[in-house]
Amino acid sequence: MSSAVVLSSLANGVMLGGLYALVALGLTLIFGVMKIINFAHGALMMWAMYASFWLAKLGGVDPYLSLAVTLPLGFAVGYAIQRAVITPVLEAPEHNQLLMTLGLALFLENLALLTFKADPRTLLVSYSQASVSLGPILLSLPRLLAFAGALAVTLLLFLFLKFTDLGKALRAAAEERDGAALVGIPVQRVYAVAFGIGTACVTAAGAMAVPFFYVSPEVGNTLVITAFVVVVLGGMGSFAGALAGGLLVGVVESLGGLFVHGSLAQIGIFALFILVLLFKPSGLLGTPSA
């Protein structure tokens, strides 16, 4: 195995990791603010992928351009889900919250199965097969774009949380719900905004994945488990952790694919997940909680 192959695989792993990071970012945001683990996150991404897929297939809209439609839509859907589905269980025991998002995931996933049938579909855009060479390294262009997009979204989100009033309100509600309510922050609305943004993140990830990833009703299932791994790796609720975790998982998967065939590389990721859960459940970058 030449070093160029390994380097290219490493680089493509980093690119893929950027996308995972974006999926995990939405998940970690929702968890950080509401302490809710959203099992439906992958199903929402799958719907976003279908939206971008059909807009491209039927309307000829490039997946990146389709974001102009799907991003606001994703936000609205997330906002509505928070209001209709999550609010009733905010005070419920943790396992009932889990079951709620699990039920939502089942519903969304099988609605897609019913609507689009089980066959995986792939979208070919002009740059699907394009690649960029960087010295000896060969980078897939759609992955590079997704990586850049993921970084851009992460940066935007960071700036939003750091400097806008809404972002500050969001952090306040995450930190101390009752205190935030006491100083006049409309906590319920802020929660809905957080879920909306989380869903918008995964919508962006979906659109960026479409040029190089198949779409099927089950694709969310695969991705959400990866996203859980990323979130736990990085530390639940930690942004920098989601980014680092995403890159790590992308690299492990990509390099693993060089040495073992097929889906066996996934075992490495699950094993990593279990190890982190056991030895550092607060994540690599998270702060230990009480």
Residues that bind other proteins (CB under 8 A): 37, 85, 88-89, 92-96, 98-100, 102-111, 113-114, 117-118, 217, 221, 225, 228-229, 232, 262-264, 266-267, 270-271, 273-274, 277-279, 281
Residue 186 Cβ vs other proteins, minimum distance, rounded to whole Å: 23
Residue 113 Cβ vs other proteins, minimum distance, rounded to whole Å: 3
Residue 252 Cβ vs other proteins, minimum distance, rounded to whole Å: 14
Of 1 and 114, nearer to other proteins (C-beta) is: 114
For every residue of the chain, DSSP letters joined together read --HHHHHHHHHHHHHHHHHHHHHHHHHHHHHHHH----TTHHHHHHHHHHHHHHHHHHH---HHHHHHHHHHHHHHHHHHHIIIIIGGGTTS-HHHHHHHHHHHHHHHHHHHHHHH-S--B----TTSS-EEEETTEEEEHHHHHHHHHHHHHHHHHHHHHHHSHHHHHHHHHHH-HHHHHHTT--HHHHHHHHHHHHHHHHHHHHHHHTTTS-B-TTHHHHHHHHHHHHHHHH-TT-HHHHHHHHHHHHHHHHHHHHHS-GGGHHHHHHHHHHHHHHH-TT-SSSPPP-
Of 131 and 221, nearer to other proteins (C-beta) is: 221
Residue 28 Cβ vs other proteins, minimum distance, rounded to whole Å: 14
Residue 116 Cβ vs other proteins, minimum distance, rounded to whole Å: 10
Of 145 and 252, nearer to other proteins (C-beta) is: 252
CA distances from 61 to 19, 55, 69, 73, 123 (A): 21, 6, 10, 16, 12
Of 142 and 286, nearer to other proteins (C-beta) is: 286
Of 254 and 266, nearer to other proteins (C-beta) is: 266
Residue 82 Cβ vs other proteins, minimum distance, rounded to whole Å: 14
Of 207 and 224, nearer to other proteins (C-beta) is: 224
